């Protein structure tokens, strides 16, 4: 015969288990993400500073997730690091294969005006995300705007004085600001991708890596020769050719 003590213990056990049910349900309801990278990404160095364009797919389980923020910590093997934030999101909405182009498809993308990504459980969510150094980009805008104002002032004072803008201290300082920001160097880079998901306190985090070769860094260094004609075009309206070069590198996940 079951005693009252045993009955009370059983009731307490049921009540105790019931108290955990809301916590279990809450845990089950949390979205579980996994970021799948394309085989490679593109490395930039231009007026926006250092930048990365990265095609990714996002798989999510349990429930849909709204990604509100993405940041990328980039660290060279020597310890130098830079934190990049998403500066653009694109979605590929059509792809056309033309036989005359040796099977290389034409891809058309649609830029998003809102910095947010909805990942759904029914399928992979594919996006092309551009990460850049936001502080450098905004500082560069301020410097180029100040330089334009100075150039306008020179023209108002003496039209011929504006012709010597490239030898002015202001022009040289702006040029130096862009030229000294070459973060990319030969070696291995570790990436830590962090995503902020609405409704969750902790960030989703995944790690990747890529390698820059000596040839890659030489290619990116050549962009230093493009800043001066870029600024001249910006100030004077000249039509000098500016050719920003970039490199494609393989990327792989790490633990």
Domain-located, residue 161: no
Domain-located, residue 153: no
Confidence of residue 95 (pLDDT cuts 50, 70, 90): low
Domain-located, residue 24: no
Share of the chain above pLDDT 90, in %: 59
Note the pLDDT tens digit of each residue in 19-68. 555 544 444 568 999 999 999 999 999 998 999 999 999 999 999 999 99
Full residue range of the structural domain in which residue 213 is found:
31-134+182-223+241-254
Domain-located, residue 236: no
Domain-located, residue 105: yes
Q: How many structural domains is the chain composed of?
A: 1
Note the pLDDT tens digit of each residue in 128-182. 999 999 999 999 999 999 999 988 888 888 777 667 788 889 999 999 999 988 8
Return the pLDDT at 83: 96
Confidence of residue 8 (pLDDT cuts 50, 70, 90): very low
Q: Is pLDDT at 105 greater than 60 in this prediction?
A: no
What is the average pLDDT score of the chain?
84
| Cα dihedral: 77, 82, 88, 89 (round 10) | 40
Domain-located, residue 150: no
Note the pLDDT tens digit of each residue in 27-36. 456 899 999 9
Return the pLDDT at 25: 46
Note the pLDDT tens digit of each residue in 185-244. 999 999 999 999 999 999 999 999 999 999 999 999 999 999 999 998 888 888 888 999
Domain-located, residue 9: no
Domain-located, residue 168: no
CATH code where residue 69 lies = 2.60.40.10
């Amino acid at each position: 015969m079951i005693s009252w003590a045993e009955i009370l213990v059983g009731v307490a056990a049921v009540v105790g288990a019931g108290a955990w049910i809301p916590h279990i349900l809450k845990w089950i309801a949390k979205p579980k993400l996994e970021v799948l990278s394309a085989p490679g990404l593109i490395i930039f160095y231009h007026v926006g500073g250092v930048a990365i364009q990265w095609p990714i797919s996002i798989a999510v389980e349990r429930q849909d997730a709204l990604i509100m923020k993405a940041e990328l910590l980039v660290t060279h093997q020597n310890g130098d690091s830079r934190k990049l934030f998403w500066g653009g999101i694109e979605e590929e909405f059509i792809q056309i294969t033309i036989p005359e182009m040796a099977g290389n498809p034409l891809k058309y993308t649609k830029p998003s005006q809102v910095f947010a990504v909805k990942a759904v459980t029914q399928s992979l969510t594919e996006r092309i995300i551009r990460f850049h150094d936001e502080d450098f980009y905004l500082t560069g805008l301020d410097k180029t705007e100040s330089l334009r104002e100075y150039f306008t002032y020179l023209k108002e004072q003496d039209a011929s004085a504006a012709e010597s803008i490239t030898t002015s201290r202001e022009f040289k300082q702006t040029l130096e600001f862009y030229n000294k920001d070459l973060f990319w160097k030969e070696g291995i880079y570790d990436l830590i991708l962090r995503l902020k998901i609405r409704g969750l306190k902790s960030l989703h985090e995944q790690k990747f890596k890529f390698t820059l070769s000596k040839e890659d860094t030489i290619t990116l260094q050549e962009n230093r020769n493009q800043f001066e004609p870029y600024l001249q075009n910006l100030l004077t309206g000249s039509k000098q050719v500016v050719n920003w070069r970039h490199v494609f590198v393989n990327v792989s996940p790490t633990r």
